């Protein structure tokens, strides 16, 4: 009988070791495929803390060691399971023998009854814990599905963050280029404005000069017309006096002599002829002056025509500059609008990046909460299992 008790105690120790081993293997197997642990492994490169990186490296190293231990423990588990099957058979035999041995000990039966009651309570608590564990495993399965989705979201998030960084750099580059182009266009617009003002000043000056020249030409034309009228009158007077002189000369030639009155008349005629010659000289001078004035008028007309051509050219250039100014203003407005749109895109990208970072933080917090809850349930189950095992040992000792 003592030999059977020692064998039973040894089997129970093996069973306890097997249960502990299975539990460790099960916990490690769950940890290997736990979604939040994989998420943590994926976001680990994004962490900036050197200490955290060192701890993760240590965990990775331990994981490698645990995987090797897991393979060995799996082999041992199979061996222990085979031993457990044999132990169960032996246990049933020993329990049958125990039934025969219990019939003669009332005190032992009473204590055993109490221990069985305690055992039932503990087993009930253990059953509750197992039910909670089952619920937790269902929740874990749901978390696994969520984990897969989260992994995909994390991958998308990393790609999105990379794209966001590239987009921000590209948008910043475009913004700088547009601002440089805007400054260049503003400088060109200022230069064109200055040239436009200068050309407008030249046009105004030429227009004033044309106006002055036109007035001068009109005055010269009026003077020429007046001189033309005077010349016409002088020509008519000269013709009349020349005709009278010729008539007097003919009469003198016919009479063949001259009286004193006639001599006096001749003197007066000579004076008139002298005066006529003087008027004729003045008319010649006026004709020459008229020719000079006509040449000057023609020269002024040529100058006016040249100035008018210059004014037309300047007006055309002013019109072109005005059109260019309008076009540059429109381009500047478009560039300013593009800069505003790029700034709005930068703001939206920054806001989206902040949202992604917040989602990562929330995922990390949820993973930590899930880890703490699972650790609490596992610790409770371990304690209850330990109490049940102790109760089994106490019952076995009482039976022995």
79-126: pLDDT as tens digits = 766 766 776 676 677 666 666 555 544 555 565 566 666 666 666 766
288 in a domain, yes or no? Answer: yes
Q: Is residue 352 part of a domain?
A: no
Q: Are residues 322 and 379 in the same domain?
A: no
Are residue 187 and residue 285 in the same domain, yes or no?
yes
pLDDT at 245: 64
The answer to whether the CB of 93 falls within 8 A of the CB of 369 is no
Q: Is residue 153 part of a domain?
A: no
**Does residue 127 carry a pLDDT above 50?**
yes
CA dist 179 and 168 (Å) reads 16
Confidence at residue 1, expressed as pLDDT on a 0 to 100 scale: 45
Shared domain for 120 and 67, answered yes or no, is yes
Determine the pLDDT at residue 220.
67
**Phi, psi (5° rounding) for residue 104?**
-100, 10
Do 265 and 393 fall within a single domain? no
**pLDDT for 144:** 61
| Same domain flag for 211 and 315 | yes
Comparison of pLDDT for 236 and 140, the residue scoring more? 236
Q: Provide mean pLDDT across the span 42-67.
A: 60
Q: Are residues 185 and 71 in the same domain?
A: no
Q: For position 252, which CATH number holds?
A: 1.10.287
265 and 390, same domain (yes or no): no
Task: Provide the whole-model pTM.
Answer: 0.31
Instruction: Please indicate, yes or no, if residue 77 is contained in any of the structural domains.
Output: yes
List all residues 6 or more positions away from 27 whose beta carbon is below 8 Å from its beta carbon: 378
Same structural domain, 275 and 232: yes
User: CA–CA distance from 192 to each of 78, 237, 323, 332 (Å)?
Assistant: 92, 66, 11, 14
Region 182-191: mean pLDDT is: 68
Residue 17 located in a structural domain: yes
pLDDT at 167 over 70: no
User: How confident is the model at residue 217, as a pLDDT?
Assistant: 66
Based on the fold, state whether residues 254 and 387 are members of the same structural domain.
no
**Would 149 be classed as within a structural domain?**
no
Q: Return the higher-pLDDT residue of 16 and 301.
A: 16
Domain-located, residue 174: no
Instruction: Give yes or no for a contact between 331 and 185, defined as CB atoms under 8 angstroms apart.
Output: yes
Same domain, 334 and 186: yes
Structural domain count, the chain: 2
Report yes or no on 160 lying in a domain.
no
Q: What angle do CA 24, 28, 30 make, to 5 degrees?
A: 120
Percent of the chain whose pLDDT exceeds 70: 42
| pLDDT above 80 for 307 | no
pLDDT, one tens digit per residue, over 356-367 is: 677 777 777 777
- The domain containing residue 292 runs over which residues? 181-346
Quick one: 378 and 342 in the same domain? no
Are 188 and 310 part of one and the same domain? yes
pLDDT score of 2: 46
């Amino acid at each position: 009988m003592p030999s059977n008790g020692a064998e039973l105690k040894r089997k129970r120790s093996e069973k306890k070791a097997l249960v502990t081993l299975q539990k460790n293997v099960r916990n490690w197997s769950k940890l290997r495929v736990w979604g939040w642990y994989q998420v943590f492994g994926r976001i680990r490169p994004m962490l900036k803390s050197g200490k955290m990186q060192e701890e993760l490296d240590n965990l990775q190293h331990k994981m490698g060691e645990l995987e090797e231990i897991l393979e060995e423990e799996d082999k041992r588990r199979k061996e222990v399971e085979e031993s457990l099957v044999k132990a169960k058979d032996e246990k049933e035999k020993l329990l049958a023998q125990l039934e025969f041995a219990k019939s003669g000990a009332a005190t032992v039966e009473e204590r055993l009854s109490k221990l069985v009651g305690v055992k039932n309570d503990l087993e009930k608590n253990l059953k509750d814990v197992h039910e909670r564990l089952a619920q937790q495993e269902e929740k874990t399965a749901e978390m696994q599905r969520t984990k897969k989705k989260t992994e995909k979201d994390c991958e998308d998030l990393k790609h999105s963050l990379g794209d966001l960084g590239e987009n921000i750099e590209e948008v910043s580059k475009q913004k700088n280029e547009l601002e440089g182009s805007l400054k260049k266009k503003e400088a060109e617009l200022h230069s064109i404005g200055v040239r436009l003002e200068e050309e407008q000043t030249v046009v105004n000056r030429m227009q004033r000069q044309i106006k002055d020249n036109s007035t001068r030409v009109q005055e010269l034309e009026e003077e020429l017309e007046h001189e033309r009228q005077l010349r016409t009158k002088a020509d008519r007077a000269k013709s009349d006096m020349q005709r009278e002189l010729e008539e007097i000369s003919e009469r003198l030639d016919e009479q063949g002599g001259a009286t004193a009155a006639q001599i006096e008349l001749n003197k007066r005629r000579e004076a008139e002829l002298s005066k006529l010659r003087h008027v004729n000289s003045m008319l010649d001078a006026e004709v020459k002056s008229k020719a000079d004035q006509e040449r000057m008028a023609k020269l002024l007309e040529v100058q006016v025509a040249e100035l008018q051509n210059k004014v037309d050219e300047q007006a055309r250039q002013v019109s072109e500059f005005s059109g260019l100014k309008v076009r540059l203003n429109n381009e500047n407005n478009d560039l300013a609008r593009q800069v505003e749109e790029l700034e709005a895109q930068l703001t939206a990208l920054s806001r989206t990046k902040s949202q992604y970072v917040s989602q990562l933080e929330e995922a990390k917090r949820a993973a930590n909460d899930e880890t703490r809850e699972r650790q609490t349930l596992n610790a409770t189950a371990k304690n209850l299992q330990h109490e049940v095992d102790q109760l089994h040992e106490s019952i076995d000792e009482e039976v022995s």
